[in-house]
């Protein structure tokens, strides 16, 4: 079975042109089939402010009303996605920029209102791995923006970590998949203020213990939930590492490796 790298890039790397270029240069040197999923960084918030659109966040999650959906679609699916695709083309990677609506690759449903109304936010229902595999067979590198769609033709803002996990899981029918989450930290840290306090290996039992102790908290929890879910559903390896260490993570290991 052919190997496949599913790599998510996010955090402050998206906002830093120099750091992003370093990552894309490293990404371009990786061998074999690759899929890239990117977040939007702070660019959507900055452009919304210029347009006079208020940004509303609850526990670090964006509330996506219709004006904000318009902004994130333009920024994630347009500006950020096409900038990444253009930079990869310059690095001789034949990339194709996509949202979940393109080729009906990632179908979602609008998140139901419970305690909080997140607005036009999508929870993933289905990934068309056959369509994505078709792109790979054409020697294209899919670059996904975190925008999905639903059956009534609405676009939806979707968490990029979740999108990466869902794509990785669905691709295991065709490939041996490694899922890598890249950002500005060296991995999952015991001390958020000490970038050298990396937890090398993380099991579900250790994860629960670190959560109980408050060592792992906030935005790292949903990222790790997505990561462990991918392992449980057949993804071979999951690594969380600094964007500068992506090549090392693939070949030798770097950052935090998750295992069941």
Tokens of 65: 């009303």
pLDDT in tens, 33-75: 999 999 887 899 999 999 999 888 876 678 999 999 999 999 9
Q: 26: domain CATH number? A: 3.40.1160.10
Query: What is the mean predicted confidence (pLDDT) over 89-111?
Result: 98
138 CB burial (10 A radius; 0-12, 13-18, 19+): exposed
pLDDT in tens, 139-150: 999 999 999 999
Which residues are bridge partners to 108 per DSSP?
Answer: 124
Tally of domains within the chain:
1
Rounded to whole angstroms, how far apart are CA atoms 47 and 49?
Answer: 5
In the chain, % of residues over pLDDT 70: 99
What domain range is 100 assigned to?
2-258
Task: Supply the mean pLDDT for the chain.
Answer: 94
pTM for the full model? 0.95
């Amino acid at each position: 079975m052919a190997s496949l790298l599913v790599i998510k890039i996010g955090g402050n790397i998206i906002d830093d042109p120099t750091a992003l270029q370093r990552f894309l240069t490293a990404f371009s040197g990786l061998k074999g089939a690759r899929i890239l999923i990117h977040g939007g960084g702070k660019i959507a918030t900055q452009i919304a402010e210029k347009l006079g659109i208020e940004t509303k966040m609850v526990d670090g999650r964006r509330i996506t009303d219709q004006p904000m959906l318009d902004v994130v679609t333009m920024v994630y699916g347009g500006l950020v996605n096409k900038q990444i695709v253009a930079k990869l083309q310059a690095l001789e990677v034949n990339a194709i920029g996509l949202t979940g609506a393109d080729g009906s690759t990632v179908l979602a449903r609008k998140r139901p209102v419970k305690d909080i109304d997140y607005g036009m936010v999508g929870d993933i229902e289905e990934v068309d791995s056959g369509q994505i595999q078709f792109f790979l067979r054409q020697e294209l590198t899919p670059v996904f923006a975190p925008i999905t769609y639903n059956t009534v033709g609405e676009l939806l803002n979707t968490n990029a970590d979740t999108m990466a996990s869902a794509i990785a899981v669905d691709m295991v029918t065709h490939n041996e998949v490694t899922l890598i989450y890249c950002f500005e930290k060296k991995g999952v840290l015991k001390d958020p203020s000490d970038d050298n306090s990396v937890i090398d290996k993380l099991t579900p039992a250790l994860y629960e213990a670190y959560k109980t102790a408050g060592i792992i908290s906030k935005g790292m929890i949903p990222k790790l939930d997505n990561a462990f879910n991918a392992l449980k559903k057949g993804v071979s390896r999951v690594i969380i590492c600094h964007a500068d260490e992506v090549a090392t993570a693939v070949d030798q290991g770097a950052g935090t490796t998750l295992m069941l």
